[in-house]
Structure 1
Amino acid sequence: MSTMKIKKGDTVKVITGKDKDKEGKVLSVDLKNNKAIVEGINKVTKHSKPSAANQAGGIIEKEAPIDLSNVMYVHKGKATRIGFKVEGDKKVRVAKSTGEAID
Protein backbone atom coordinates (compact mmCIF):
# COMPACT_ATOMS: atom_id res chain seq x y z
CA MET A 1 0.00 0.00 0.00
CA SER A 2 1.33 3.42 -0.91
CA THR A 3 1.83 6.21 1.61
CA MET A 4 -0.85 8.92 1.70
CA LYS A 5 0.11 12.42 0.60
CA ILE A 6 -3.13 13.89 1.96
CA LYS A 7 -4.21 12.86 5.46
CA LYS A 8 -7.18 13.46 7.75
CA GLY A 9 -6.93 16.90 9.37
CA ASP A 10 -4.90 18.51 6.55
CA THR A 11 -6.01 21.82 5.06
CA VAL A 12 -6.42 21.51 1.30
CA LYS A 13 -7.33 23.78 -1.61
CA VAL A 14 -9.58 22.64 -4.48
CA ILE A 15 -7.79 23.22 -7.79
CA THR A 16 -10.55 22.27 -10.23
CA GLY A 17 -14.31 21.77 -10.44
CA LYS A 18 -17.34 23.65 -9.13
CA ASP A 19 -15.62 24.53 -5.82
CA LYS A 20 -12.35 25.76 -7.36
CA ASP A 21 -10.16 27.96 -5.08
CA LYS A 22 -12.07 26.99 -1.91
CA GLU A 23 -10.17 25.68 1.11
CA GLY A 24 -11.26 23.21 3.75
CA LYS A 25 -10.17 20.64 6.29
CA VAL A 26 -10.02 16.96 5.28
CA LEU A 27 -12.59 14.97 7.29
CA SER A 28 -11.72 11.52 5.90
CA VAL A 29 -9.63 9.87 3.18
CA ASP A 30 -10.53 6.76 1.17
CA LEU A 31 -7.20 5.53 -0.21
CA LYS A 32 -8.77 2.55 -2.00
CA ASN A 33 -10.94 4.81 -4.19
CA ASN A 34 -8.49 7.77 -4.11
CA LYS A 35 -11.09 10.15 -2.68
CA ALA A 36 -11.41 12.52 0.28
CA ILE A 37 -14.27 14.24 2.07
CA VAL A 38 -13.46 17.91 2.68
CA GLU A 39 -15.37 20.18 5.07
CA GLY A 40 -17.73 22.51 3.16
CA ILE A 41 -16.61 21.29 -0.28
CA ASN A 42 -18.67 19.39 -2.91
CA LYS A 43 -21.96 19.79 -1.03
CA VAL A 44 -24.86 17.67 -2.29
CA THR A 45 -28.52 17.51 -1.24
CA LYS A 46 -29.89 14.17 -0.11
CA HIS A 47 -33.54 13.27 0.40
CA SER A 48 -34.02 11.18 3.54
CA LYS A 49 -37.05 9.35 4.87
CA PRO A 50 -38.05 9.86 8.50
CA SER A 51 -36.24 7.41 10.79
CA ALA A 52 -35.38 6.96 14.45
CA ALA A 53 -32.23 9.07 14.01
CA ASN A 54 -33.89 11.73 11.84
CA GLN A 55 -37.52 12.16 12.97
CA ALA A 56 -38.49 14.82 10.43
CA GLY A 57 -36.73 13.43 7.36
CA GLY A 58 -36.60 15.86 4.43
CA ILE A 59 -33.72 17.31 2.44
CA ILE A 60 -30.29 17.33 4.08
CA GLU A 61 -27.06 18.81 2.75
CA LYS A 62 -23.80 16.88 3.14
CA GLU A 63 -20.29 16.71 1.71
CA ALA A 64 -19.63 14.20 -1.06
CA PRO A 65 -16.21 12.65 -1.77
CA ILE A 66 -13.86 14.56 -4.09
CA ASP A 67 -10.97 13.01 -6.01
CA LEU A 68 -7.53 13.50 -4.45
CA SER A 69 -6.15 14.70 -7.80
CA ASN A 70 -8.45 17.73 -7.51
CA VAL A 71 -7.04 18.99 -4.18
CA MET A 72 -3.65 20.36 -3.11
CA TYR A 73 -2.12 20.58 0.36
CA VAL A 74 -1.95 24.12 1.80
CA HIS A 75 1.36 24.99 3.50
CA LYS A 76 1.72 28.47 5.04
CA GLY A 77 -1.26 29.78 3.07
CA LYS A 78 -0.04 28.48 -0.31
CA ALA A 79 -1.01 25.35 -2.23
CA THR A 80 1.97 23.04 -2.69
CA ARG A 81 2.82 19.58 -3.89
CA ILE A 82 3.99 16.96 -1.41
CA GLY A 83 7.05 14.74 -1.54
CA PHE A 84 8.72 12.35 0.86
CA LYS A 85 12.12 12.37 2.54
CA VAL A 86 13.77 9.91 4.89
CA GLU A 87 15.08 11.66 8.01
CA GLY A 88 17.01 9.26 10.21
CA ASP A 89 14.85 6.15 10.17
CA LYS A 90 11.50 7.94 9.58
CA LYS A 91 9.78 8.76 6.29
CA VAL A 92 8.26 12.27 6.48
CA ARG A 93 6.10 14.35 4.15
CA VAL A 94 7.83 17.40 2.71
CA ALA A 95 6.34 20.52 1.07
CA LYS A 96 7.89 20.81 -2.40
CA SER A 97 7.65 24.63 -2.45
CA THR A 98 9.70 25.20 0.73
CA GLY A 99 11.39 21.86 1.37
CA GLU A 100 10.14 21.89 4.97
CA ALA A 101 8.88 18.77 6.76
CA ILE A 102 5.12 18.79 7.28
CA ASP A 103 4.73 16.34 10.16
Structure 2
Amino acid sequence: MAPKVKGLINLDEAAKDARLDFFILFSSLAGGMGNPGQAGYAAANAFMDVYAARRNRLVRDNKRSGQTLSVNWPLSINRKTTWQCLVKPEMVHPTPISLFLGTYKP
Protein backbone atom coordinates (compact mmCIF):
# COMPACT_ATOMS: atom_id res chain seq x y z
CA MET A 1 0.00 0.00 0.00
CA ALA A 2 2.73 2.45 0.95
CA PRO A 3 4.43 2.69 -2.48
CA LYS A 4 1.22 3.70 -4.25
CA VAL A 5 0.16 6.16 -1.56
CA LYS A 6 3.57 7.74 -0.91
CA GLY A 7 4.43 7.72 -4.60
CA LEU A 8 1.25 9.58 -5.50
CA ILE A 9 1.68 12.17 -2.76
CA ASN A 10 5.35 12.71 -3.68
CA LEU A 11 4.56 13.00 -7.40
CA ASP A 12 1.80 15.51 -6.78
CA GLU A 13 4.03 17.53 -4.46
CA ALA A 14 6.87 17.53 -7.01
CA ALA A 15 4.50 18.69 -9.77
CA LYS A 16 2.51 21.21 -7.74
CA ASP A 17 4.02 24.24 -9.50
CA ALA A 18 4.02 22.70 -12.99
CA ARG A 19 1.42 23.94 -15.48
CA LEU A 20 -0.27 20.63 -16.31
CA ASP A 21 -3.10 19.97 -18.73
CA PHE A 22 -4.06 16.85 -16.81
CA PHE A 23 -2.87 14.55 -14.02
CA ILE A 24 -3.89 10.94 -14.57
CA LEU A 25 -3.79 8.19 -11.95
CA PHE A 26 -3.98 4.55 -12.95
CA SER A 27 -5.95 2.89 -10.22
CA SER A 28 -7.78 -0.43 -10.20
CA LEU A 29 -11.37 -1.57 -9.99
CA ALA A 30 -10.25 -3.29 -6.79
CA GLY A 31 -10.43 0.12 -5.10
CA GLY A 32 -14.20 0.20 -5.39
CA MET A 33 -15.01 -3.48 -5.54
CA GLY A 34 -12.37 -4.99 -3.31
CA ASN A 35 -10.24 -7.99 -4.12
CA PRO A 36 -10.22 -11.05 -1.87
CA GLY A 37 -6.93 -11.42 -0.05
CA GLN A 38 -5.64 -8.03 -1.20
CA ALA A 39 -7.06 -5.52 1.27
CA GLY A 40 -3.96 -3.31 1.15
CA TYR A 41 -4.00 -3.20 -2.64
CA ALA A 42 -7.71 -2.35 -2.68
CA ALA A 43 -7.22 0.35 -0.03
CA ALA A 44 -4.33 1.93 -1.95
CA ASN A 45 -6.44 2.10 -5.11
CA ALA A 46 -9.39 3.56 -3.21
CA PHE A 47 -6.99 6.18 -1.81
CA MET A 48 -6.03 7.13 -5.37
CA ASP A 49 -9.68 7.72 -6.26
CA VAL A 50 -10.23 9.92 -3.21
CA TYR A 51 -6.97 11.75 -3.84
CA ALA A 52 -8.08 12.56 -7.39
CA ALA A 53 -11.21 14.24 -6.03
CA ARG A 54 -9.11 16.14 -3.47
CA ARG A 55 -6.67 17.25 -6.16
CA ASN A 56 -9.51 18.49 -8.37
CA ARG A 57 -10.62 20.70 -5.47
CA LEU A 58 -7.07 22.09 -5.33
CA VAL A 59 -7.26 22.74 -9.08
CA ARG A 60 -10.55 24.54 -8.60
CA ASP A 61 -8.93 26.67 -5.86
CA ASN A 62 -5.91 27.43 -8.13
CA LYS A 63 -3.49 25.53 -5.90
CA ARG A 64 -2.75 22.93 -8.60
CA SER A 65 -3.26 22.75 -12.35
CA GLY A 66 -4.48 19.98 -14.59
CA GLN A 67 -7.75 18.12 -14.45
CA THR A 68 -7.23 15.00 -12.35
CA LEU A 69 -8.62 11.62 -13.35
CA SER A 70 -8.26 8.30 -11.61
CA VAL A 71 -8.75 5.49 -14.11
CA ASN A 72 -10.04 2.30 -12.50
CA TRP A 73 -8.22 -0.17 -14.70
CA PRO A 74 -9.94 -3.57 -14.85
CA LEU A 75 -8.23 -6.87 -14.34
CA SER A 76 -7.10 -8.08 -17.72
CA ILE A 77 -6.95 -11.70 -18.72
CA ASN A 78 -3.31 -11.38 -19.74
CA ARG A 79 -0.70 -8.84 -20.78
CA LYS A 80 -1.62 -9.21 -24.45
CA THR A 81 -5.20 -8.14 -23.72
CA THR A 82 -4.00 -5.08 -21.82
CA TRP A 83 -1.54 -4.22 -24.59
CA GLN A 84 -4.27 -4.51 -27.24
CA CYS A 85 -6.44 -2.10 -25.28
CA LEU A 86 -3.60 0.41 -25.23
CA VAL A 87 -2.40 0.18 -28.84
CA LYS A 88 -5.61 -0.80 -30.64
CA PRO A 89 -8.36 1.30 -29.08
CA GLU A 90 -10.71 0.41 -31.94
CA MET A 91 -10.90 -3.09 -30.44
CA VAL A 92 -12.46 -1.92 -27.22
CA HIS A 93 -15.38 0.17 -26.13
CA PRO A 94 -14.66 3.75 -25.07
CA THR A 95 -12.95 3.96 -21.71
CA PRO A 96 -13.04 6.91 -19.34
CA ILE A 97 -9.45 7.75 -20.30
CA SER A 98 -10.14 7.78 -24.05
CA LEU A 99 -13.23 9.89 -23.53
CA PHE A 100 -11.36 12.23 -21.17
CA LEU A 101 -8.46 12.73 -23.58
CA GLY A 102 -10.76 13.00 -26.59
CA THR A 103 -8.95 10.15 -28.35
CA TYR A 104 -11.93 7.81 -28.79
CA LYS A 105 -13.06 7.52 -32.41
CA PRO A 106 -15.97 5.20 -33.16
Q: Tell me which interval the TM-score lies in, with the shorter structure as reference length.
A: under 0.3
* TM-score between the two structures when normalised by the length of structure 1: 0.24
The structure that is strand-richer by fraction is 1
* TM-score between the two structures when normalised by the length of structure 2: 0.23
